[in-house]
Amino acid sequence: PDDTLREIANGDDLFTLAARQEEARRLLNTEAGRVHVRRVFQRWLHLDQPVDVSSAARVSEISADGLWNELVTEALDVVEFEVFERGASYQELMSTRLEAPATERLAALLGQPQTSDTPIESVSVRVSHLARPALLASKRELSSPILRGLFVLERVMCQTVPAPPADADDIAADALDQIDLSTLTSRQRAELATDAPQCAACHDQINAAGFALSYFGPLGQPWVDGERALTAAGEPAGLLPLNSAVEDLIVDVDL
């Protein structure tokens, strides 16, 4: 609240819905309102929790120094532009094709010309705010369909996902033991690691939400020719075909 709102609140002018809406819109269109909207999205999308992207940056052959902050700024710049310049609805924002490559490094990552002014249309398969690099960035060398799926279900769809069993890591390790991991995409690794009956009930939905984002690498960069395969030691091992097909993704949203 600012001084103007405090003064109005001392009278009777805020007792009507129309008056409260008018004041809310006025406050949103102040500099403090813009900062508040950015902060709301930053907290909601967990962008206030830094991700160590050094491993993903290394295999992507890009400098990791300050990269996380650039990814977050890009995501929030698009939010601010959609909300305040376009007046976008929630649906329009979440299906935005805009990108804001304000640095040379982001421009290279996104395959876009650098721009520090108005966000520009994506030239890749990025057709959703969920495909924003900051939301896809991994702390590992490979992207994680499982973590991406959890993010979509919990943060966006407001689903409650049960905790994994205590031996989940052991189950996954046993499933991938003695397999040449350089022949598997991140999707195939996730499918094998969660194929056990005690895992399938939850992971049928978790994995599907993550598989839909398979065309983006561990830094959210668009993959055109295929996924960059890695050995168990994290070394490059060629390209693998991509598959983002999803069947029977059912999300129960209680409105």
With bands split at pLDDT 50, 70 and 90, how would you rate the model's confidence at 39?
Answer: very high
> From CA 127, how far away is CA 97, in angstroms rounded?
5
Determine the Cα angle at 224 with ends 221 and 229, to 5°: 75
Sign for the pseudo-dihedral over CA of 196, 197, 199, 201:
positive
Q: What is the mean pLDDT of residues 6-27?
A: 86
Instruction: Name the average pLDDT for the chain.
Output: 88
Per residue in 43-98, pLDDT (tens digit) is: 999 999 999 999 999 888 899 999 999 999 999 999 999 999 999 998 999 899 99
Instruction: Give the relative orientation of helices 186-193 and 168-176 as an angle to the nearest 10 degrees.
Output: 120
Sign for the pseudo-dihedral over CA of 87, 90, 92, 96:
positive
Taking the whole predicted model, whether its pTM rises above 0.75 is answered as: yes
